[in-house]
């Protein structure tokens, strides 16, 4: 069989392999329900340690231990939440107003009126310190 005769079969194989790669990425690598990650926990500052305590009480049921995610909420130690894409005000707004599903498939997050502004500030310190320890730093958001 000549190369010219094999070309259609080769082209079909390339298309199938590419389709399989896209499907695999969509279901394995893309953000989605049940996403959990491994999080490196640094030695925390005093304020971040207080934030961890508040996070464990107020947020961990959905966002997981060390903000690693659960089947109820996404990991916050994820590049989507880098300070250039979701600044500190975004965390405050999410707690105050809730947030509609947009990056993940967990559904909407309800407002958390029982969490004080001071607690939210401590939680943000904790999350930012976890992010930094895991290589997540400010990157400008580009649409």
> What pLDDT score does 21 carry?
43
- Mean pLDDT per block of 10 residues along the chain (143 residues) reads 64 52 40 70 97 98 96 95 96 97 93 97 98 95 81
Architecture of domain 46-133: Orthogonal Bundle (1.10)
Question: Number of C-alpha atoms within 13 angstroms, CB side, residue 108?
Answer: 7
Its pTM stands at 0.74
In angstroms, how far apart are the furthest CA atoms of the chain? 74
> What pLDDT score does 13 carry?
58
> What pLDDT score does 36 carry?
73
> What pLDDT score does 82 carry?
96
Q: How far apart are CA 34 and CA 37, in angstroms?
A: 10
> What pLDDT score does 6 carry?
67
> What pLDDT score does 27 carry?
38
> What pLDDT score does 141 carry?
86
> What pLDDT score does 136 carry?
96
Closest by CA position to 74, among listed 91, 96, 93? 91
Q: How far apart are CA 15 and CA 17, in angstroms?
A: 6
Return the domain boundaries, the chain: 1-30, 46-133
């Amino acid at each position: 069989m000549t190369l010219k005769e094999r070309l259609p079969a080769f082209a079909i194989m390339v298309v199938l392999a590419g389709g399989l790669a896209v499907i695999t990425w969509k279901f394995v690598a893309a953000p989605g329900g049940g996403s959990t990650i491994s999080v490196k926990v640094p030695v925390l500052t005093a304020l971040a340690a207080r934030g961890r305590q508040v996070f464990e009480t107020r947020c961990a049921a959905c966002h997981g231990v060390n903000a690693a995610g659960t089947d109820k909420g996404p990991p916050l130690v994820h590049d989507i939440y880098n300070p250039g894409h979701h600044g500190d005000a975004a965390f405050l707004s999410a707690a105050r107003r809730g947030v509609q599903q947009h990056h993940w498939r967990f559904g909407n997050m309800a407002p958390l009126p029982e969490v004080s502004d001071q607690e939210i500030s401590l939680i943000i310190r904790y999350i930012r310190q976890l992010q930094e320890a895991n290589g997540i730093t400010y990157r400008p958001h580009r649409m």
